[in-house]
Structure 1
């Protein structure tokens, strides 16, 4: 699932393409809103809220989308837009201005709501790591009060919005924190360090197409533990592992180093794990990274 910095970049790209321009074509391929006509209205702005995209349109309406696991928004030049895009079975939304067209593919959610009621869709979210509402103390308090492992608390968008499994794993590795440690056991200072690290990583990540915690933008060198199970830890050489975290059916995939981060997790059976993609490699969960 795309992380908050990726969604922020998506919203910025859509805003640059559509803001201040009149919508000349709109095709929303979602049952509840398929007959909506947005033509003739101007795009006011496109912003992100955690992992949500809010496309605010003249007349007090908002087109809300969530990418889920595989969704994306593409921007193509309207004058040369290939007909194949309109015939694409993965197309869920098409919004065209005279010069640029936004194409929503494989979207996980699509809603058209009054802008005044955006809170019905995103009001449950905690402080947005990249938003104007970022409140570090509130985020720390939310995580500290969570009666779940720190990894699960960071991934709960009600505590703070925008952290996904990749930045969660990288944050906890850099802070040498076991993902299954309880926030209360880490104490306020420990949770503050974790939240501050996550904020810094995501804030830096929004400026680059390749998300990196190591400083390298090479895809095979960008992460310390994420998606590196079965391979040596860059810090100590121990084999990086992967195990589920959270309560079924909401569990997520967590990568970690047992040596650097305080031992095997309680959901890790300790069996040999081959590198992802190799024969016999660890299976990915339904909510994989």
Structure 2
């Protein structure tokens, strides 16, 4: 299995690749022979079995079987892979700053800018930058945004539960929280982008536009 951003490429021994994308609710599970599945069977979209293990892909929204030589057709559009062996932070910074007026939260989520950052990491990187997700790229330190994205994902690469704080018992600074882990003030929640992805921020610790002020600028 080789990850490419949020895409998973499972290379088979017949020069073909099974491509999948988990999106929000997909998952691959490994089971011993005869072990009971932890999800209902109607959610299974792919089953790969050997004598020792069975891999079941549940709720896989994207699933393709292609020649390994054609993998680039599925993932060639992606930006630098944050956890890839050929990670290129300079290229990531170049892509991130290509549109200085774009909201930093949307830029970080754009997989053609840098591949691998999801909504949790976007939220937490913005918090650590001290800027709201609706702030324009021109108002943030792009190199620091790229560095933090790489650091946080690398820290969690082999852990099933994501933690962005480095503190025991406190997984996130603001994501999914009612109060800010740093200052104790109320965490605000809004939406961002055409898909209205949830965005959390602390008005005490983060400067910049909120969803309402960003919307007013677009309307005006």
2:199 alignment partner in structure 1: 254
Separation in 2, partners of 1:47, 1:267: 40
- 1:203 partner SS: helix
Contact 2:192–2:211, Cα closer than 8 Å, also in 1: no
Distance 1:252 1:108, change over 3 A: same
Separation in 2, partners of 1:266, 1:169: 14
Shift of 1:86: 11
- 1:197 partner SS: helix
* Bigger Cα Rg: 1
Contact 2:172–2:181, Cα closer than 8 Å, also in 1: no
Separation in 1, partners of 2:40, 2:126: 43
Shift of 1:268: 7.1
Contact 1:242–1:268, Cα closer than 8 Å, also in 2: no
Distance 1:64 1:242, change over 3 A: same
Distance 1:68 1:268, change over 3 A: farther
2:83 alignment partner in structure 1: 130
Give the RMSD, CA atoms, in angstroms: 2.0
2:174 alignment partner in structure 1: 225
Shift of 1:133: 2.2
Structure 1: where are the runs of 5+ without partners? 1-45, 270-289
The correspondence for 1:89, drawn from 38, 42, 58, is 42
Alignment of 1:198-213 (within 5 A): 198-213=149-164
Separation in 2, partners of 1:155, 1:252: 10
Q: TM-score, normalised by structure 1?
A: 0.69
Residue 25 (structure 2) pairs with residue 77 (structure 1): no
Contact 1:245–1:251, Cα closer than 8 Å, also in 2: yes
Separation in 2, partners of 1:257, 1:86: 36
Q: TM-score, normalised by structure 2?
A: 0.90
- 1:154 partner SS: helix
Separation in 1, partners of 2:75, 2:93: 20
The correspondence for 1:193, drawn from 144, 152, 155, is 144
Shift of 1:92: 0.6
The correspondence for 2:64, drawn from 111, 116, 126, is 111
Residue 9 (structure 2) pairs with residue 64 (structure 1): no
Question: Deviation string for 1:96-150 (max 9, x for gaps)?
Answer: 0110110011111111001111111111110000001211000011111134101
- 1:145 partner SS: coil
Separation in 1, partners of 2:39, 2:163: 35
2:128 alignment partner in structure 1: 174
The correspondence for 1:150, drawn from 93, 100, 104, is 104
Distance 1:92 1:209, change over 3 A: same
